[in-house]
Chains A and B, each alone.
Chain A
Amino acid sequence: MIDIKRVTFSRGANVILDDFSAQILNGEAVLLSGSNGAGKSTLIQLIGGFLTPDSGSIEIIGNDISQLKAKDQAQLRSIAPQRRIFDLAFTVVQTLNFVPKKRRSLRTHQIIEELGLVDLLDKKVTELSIGQQQRVSLALALIQEADFYLLDEPFAGQDAASQVRTINLINEIKNEKGVLVVSHNSDNTHSWFDREIVLN
């Protein structure tokens, strides 16, 4: 379980989360929605341990993440941020290899296929389209073995077919893991989630 306990977080005078609590359980897929600037990405960054709450705490399977090193946090959860920097001309394979072998999911091959990356493996990430980069970014998160997957707008920039394939993938992962997905695209995908958390 991811247990978000009474978290408050502000940037300057801008209070983004105010005494916010929520839980994400194993085996469920939760939709995190809300308007632009509502604080969805901020919440993901807090759970990911990249930001630290002003007050309150976040636990993953009983571990207070503020007490864990980046390396140990990475065992518990895997995150696809809303944006990654693809500035250097690594190939797609090289990029996916950023996840060390011993931390890679057994499903790695399937994920690469489902996300349509097989033909792109030797291409440079700097020379991919935005939607293709988005799929590499998503793959990078999904091939990392973890208990929880937090995906910030995984459908953004993706065509209808890859959206469906992404959903199927998440559906399978959800059988054993917990999944939190940020999405605006609630019309197409809404019905498919177990639960929705709305930020405002």
Chain B
Amino acid sequence: MKREIGIYIGGVILLALLFLLSLRIGVLHLQTPLFDILFKNNHGVDASTVWDIRLPRALGAIIFGAGLGFAGVIAQGIFRNPLAEPTLIGLSSGAVLGTIAVISSGAAVYGSRTNVYVAVLFAASTALMVQWLAPNKGFGFLLTGIAVSSILTSLAGLVITSSPKPSIQSLSFWNFGSLSLLNSETIRASAPVLEVGIITAFFVARKLDIYSLGDASSHYLGVNPKRIRFWAIIALAFLIGASVSAIGSIAFIGLLIPHIVRALIGPAHRRLLSISGLIGAIVLLAADLVARTAFEPHEIPLGLITSLIGAPALIILIRRSRAQWVAHD
């Protein structure tokens, strides 16, 4: 408990510092002190850079980073599989395909409400399809997710290649993810959807503890496992749909953060959820800061950084952990 409070306080302070730093630094070097821009009337280039570009981007990193942390906890809990993650089990590819389809068909533009809703719908359908196709919930489930995921990614590539719209971005933009398109409209469109996902996730999380004992045990203790799975998929679709339509698909955050937090504070899902959300926000904000400042004035895709750090970290975790890789039941 003490440790948790420490993590909360330390985390919030770190997040605040990173947030200010994100507003402060970038390609354009501010001439005006940040304090004046934020708290005094200011209309110059500096002010519009901070208010219109950096602020939405930093806010986006925080809310979508938290969303990815939440989604990882729910995915691992519901599939009783420490390797489950929205990008591995196909939800993200579904949302990417939905986003690309809607933009290239001209039905809606990037960051619009329609874009977000279609991404949610595609994410949910993908989750249901993987569940329906998979032979079991262990290793076969993951492999099915990976297979479905690569079919959807190929389809997305086809749509992009045949699309005349240059605004659609490249496939690698969507697959690696980037915060570079974020603006305040995008945030306004996706934040309410993300919020629905978060509320649903907290509602589901309380029951995931009991659910972890297996379907039968869960039913006997009064928690209907099918209902929990249904609501968890709704939560995942909203979380992933909202974030993918805005920033593309970002790997490893949802996979690694719940692992690490679980090792620190134990498996109880509610606390796991809150702290993983906090850490997800910190990590995405930090990664984006690196992405846009490390090779100034060039920006590296954000997902490159999370993968470059995340993949080796995953290997270390796999070698160290005694986790059971094949879930039962």
Taking a contact as CB atoms under 8 Å apart, the answer to whether B220 and A48 are in contact is yes
Interface size for B (C-beta < 8 A) is 23
Given contacts A84-B217, A98-B210, whether A89 and B222 have CB atoms under 8 Å apart is no
Taking a contact as CB atoms under 8 Å apart, the answer to whether B213 and A85 are in contact is yes
Q: Residue of A at shortest CB range from B323?
A: A87
Partner of A94, one of B219, B262, B268, B328: B268
Q: Which residues of B contact A70 (CB under 8 A)?
A: 219, 222-224
A68 to B268, CA, bound (A): 28
A141 to B327, CA, bound (A): 23
Determine whether B324 belongs to the interface, using a CB cutoff of 8 Å to chain A: yes
Taking a contact as CB atoms under 8 Å apart, the answer to whether B219 and A86 are in contact is no
A86 to B212, CA, bound (A): 8
Taking a contact as CB atoms under 8 Å apart, the answer to whether B213 and A89 are in contact is no
Determine whether B329 belongs to the interface, using a CB cutoff of 8 Å to chain A: yes
Q: Which residues of B contact A49 (CB under 8 A)?
A: 219
How many Å from the CB of A142 to the closest CB on chain B? 13
Determine whether B140 belongs to the interface, using a CB cutoff of 8 Å to chain A: no
Q: Is the interface of B mostly helix, strand, loop or mixed?
A: loop
Given contacts A73-B222, A98-B209, whether A85 and B217 have CB atoms under 8 Å apart is yes
Taking a contact as CB atoms under 8 Å apart, the answer to whether B212 and A87 are in contact is yes
Q: Which residues of B contact A140 (CB under 8 A)?
A: 221
Q: Which residues of B contact A81 (CB under 8 A)?
A: 214, 216-217, 220
The total of Cβ contacts below 8 Å across the A-B interface reads: 68
Taking a contact as CB atoms under 8 Å apart, the answer to whether A50 and B216 are in contact is yes
How many Å from the CB of B104 to the closest CB on chain A? 43
Taking a contact as CB atoms under 8 Å apart, the answer to whether B266 and A89 are in contact is yes
A140 to B327, CA, bound (A): 22
Determine whether A74 belongs to the interface, using a CB cutoff of 8 Å to chain B: yes
Given contacts A85-B329, A87-B327, whether A69 and B224 have CB atoms under 8 Å apart is yes
Query: Could you mark each residue 242-276 of chain B with 1 if its beta carbon is under 8 Å from any beta carbon of chain A, else 0?
Result: 00000000000000000000100011100000000
Most chain B CB inside 10 Å of its own CB: which residue of A69, A88, A90, A103: A88
Determine whether B215 belongs to the interface, using a CB cutoff of 8 Å to chain A: yes
Taking a contact as CB atoms under 8 Å apart, the answer to whether B220 and A98 are in contact is no
Q: Which residues of A contact B327 (CB under 8 A)?
A: 87
Determine whether A144 belongs to the interface, using a CB cutoff of 8 Å to chain B: yes
Given contacts A70-B223, A73-B222, A74-B222, whether A90 and B267 have CB atoms under 8 Å apart is yes
User: Beyond the given A90-B268, A98-B213, A98-B221, could you list 6 further A-B residue pairs with CB under 8 A, ordered by the A residue number?
Assistant: A45-B216, A50-B215, A74-B221, A81-B214, A85-B213, A90-B266
Closest 3 CB pairs of A and B: A74-B222, A88-B267, A70-B224
Give B contacts to A, CB under 8 Å.
80, 209-210, 212-217, 219-224, 262, 266-268, 324, 327-329
Give A contacts to B, CB under 8 Å.
45, 48-50, 69-71, 73-74, 78-79, 81, 83-91, 94, 98-99, 103, 140-141, 144
14 A–B contacts from the bound complex (CB under 8 Å): A50-B220, A70-B219, A73-B222, A74-B220, A79-B220, A81-B217, A85-B80, A85-B217, A88-B212, A90-B209, A90-B266, A98-B213, A98-B221, A103-B222
